[in-house]
Amino acid sequence: MISNIYILTLFPDVINKYLDESILGRAQKNNKVSFHVHNIRDKSTNKHFKVDDIPFGGSTGMVMMLEPIILLLEEIGIQDKHVVLTSPKGARLNNDKIKTLKEIKELVIIAGHYEGIDSRINNYVDEEISIGDYVLTGGELPALVITDSLVRCIPSVLGNTDSLLEESFEDDLLDWDVYTRPRVFDAKEVPDVLFSGNHKKIEHWKQKSAIINTLIDRPSVFAKHRFTEEQKIILKDYLKED
Ligand code: SAM
């Protein structure tokens, strides 16, 4: 299980602000996980603390130099650690990848910036991960996305561990629709069944809501789901409805 996450960044304050708050902040305080945020600029060998330079071959923007990052990796010691580079070119992050990563004890995440890092960084990383097919200004948000999705998987970090099993993508289904007070808002009512006190009926409604949400919103996830006999009946009944 994940226990130490090292983040290499040019913007440690951005990272620390998020890690100090809410569930992640509590997880660290309660010793469920330790965060180690390192400023790449601290390892600049340049008297002006430069960490980037112009790209060979010409192009726009600047490229992050290898040396400060490698010096940091050497200081941290990566022999027993899994090193992830955040990159739009990487494998797309998903629930399966999070399940694999959470079993790693020591994880290092490198956040790039500018036009990215000198490509020879690939000799020092285990894998590149992307959080989607779009380009961000830096790897800070991807590093936080990876960290957040891993830390909430650590047992007892979330108040109710059952909620992990009921969440979207578990078992290839999306979550059911959720509601809270008030019962009526802007003439929109919470489904009556949720007040029935009948646990069997409520469970049936939740399963149906999850199945319909997945079918309509994410057919590719729906296609992977293995239906129980009860769920098959729920789906057939739904398809028969007008
Ligand atoms: N020139 C690069 C390209 O076109 O692929 C984009 C570099 S981007 C402006 C700077 C850094 O942000 C990257 O090195 C990476 O660390 C991070 N980054 C940007 N978009 C990302 C994404 N979708 N997933 C993961 N990291 C991303």
Ligand 1 atom at minimum distance from 64 CA:
14
Ligand 1 atom at minimum distance from 93 CA:
24
Please, which pLDDT band fits residue 64 given cuts at 50, 70 and 90? very high
Phi and psi (nearest 5°) for 120? Answer: -65, -5
The Cα 43–Cα 173 span in angstroms is 45
Token pair of 145, please? 């996305």
Please, which pLDDT band fits residue 227 given cuts at 50, 70 and 90? very high
Three-state DSSP class for residue 202? helix
Sign of the C-alpha dihedral computed for residues 144, 146, 149 and 151 taken in this order: negative
Q: Percent of the chain scored above 90 by pLDDT?
A: 95
Please, which pLDDT band fits residue 163 given cuts at 50, 70 and 90? confident
Instruction: Please say if the pLDDT value at position 162 is more than 80.
Output: no
Specify the pLDDT at position 159.
83
Nearest to 5, CA basis, from 30, 36, 32: 36
Ligand 1 atom at minimum distance from 111 CA:
16
DSSP code, position 1 = -
**pLDDT 10s digits, 187-215:** 999 999 999 999 999 999 999 999 999 99
Token pair of 162, please? 């059952």
Specify the pLDDT at position 31.
98
Specify the pLDDT at position 13.
98
DSSP code, position 4 = E
The Cα 57–Cα 160 span in angstroms is 54
Instruction: Please say if the pLDDT value at position 8 is more than 80.
Output: yes
The Cα 196–Cα 162 span in angstroms is 23
C-alpha 184 to ligand 1 mean position (Å)? 44
What average pLDDT does this structure show over 52-67? Answer: 96
Ligand 1 atom at minimum distance from 112 CA:
16
Is 193 in contact with 201 (CB distance < 8 Å)? yes
Beta bridge partners of 92: 130
DSSP code, position 10 = S
Is 149 in contact with 99 (CB distance < 8 Å)? no
Choose one of 11, 85, 87, 130 to mutate for the ligand 1 pocket test, by most ligand atoms within 8 angstroms of C-beta: 87
What average pLDDT does this structure show over 121-140? Answer: 98
**pLDDT 10s digits, 35-57:** 999 999 999 999 999 999 999 99
Instruction: Please say if the pLDDT value at position 131 is more than 90.
Output: yes
Specify the pLDDT at position 166.
85
C-alpha 137 to ligand 1 mean position (Å)? 7
C-alpha 117 to ligand 1 mean position (Å)? 9
In 185-228, which residue ranges form alpha helices assigned H by DSSP? 199-217, 219-222
Please, which pLDDT band fits residue 161 given cuts at 50, 70 and 90? confident
C-alpha 9 to ligand 1 mean position (Å)? 13
**Ligand 1, CB within 6 Å, residue ranges:** 86-89, 111-113, 115-117, 130-132, 134-139, 142
Please, which pLDDT band fits residue 242 given cuts at 50, 70 and 90? confident
Please, which pLDDT band fits residue 240 given cuts at 50, 70 and 90? very high
**pLDDT 10s digits, 74-110:** 999 999 999 999 999 999 999 999 999 999 999 999 9
Specify the pLDDT at position 165.
82
Ligand 1 atom at minimum distance from 61 CA:
1
Residue closest via CA to ligand 1's atom 2 equals 115
Task: Compute CA distances 33 → 17, 105, 157, 191, 230, whole Å.
Answer: 16, 10, 9, 40, 39
C-alpha 89 to ligand 1 mean position (Å)? 8
Rg (CA), the chain: 23
Q: Helix 12-19 to helix 140-151 angle, to the nearest 10 degrees? A: 20
Beta strand segments in 117-203, E: 127-130, 184-185, 188-189
The Cα 111–Cα 105 span in angstroms is 19
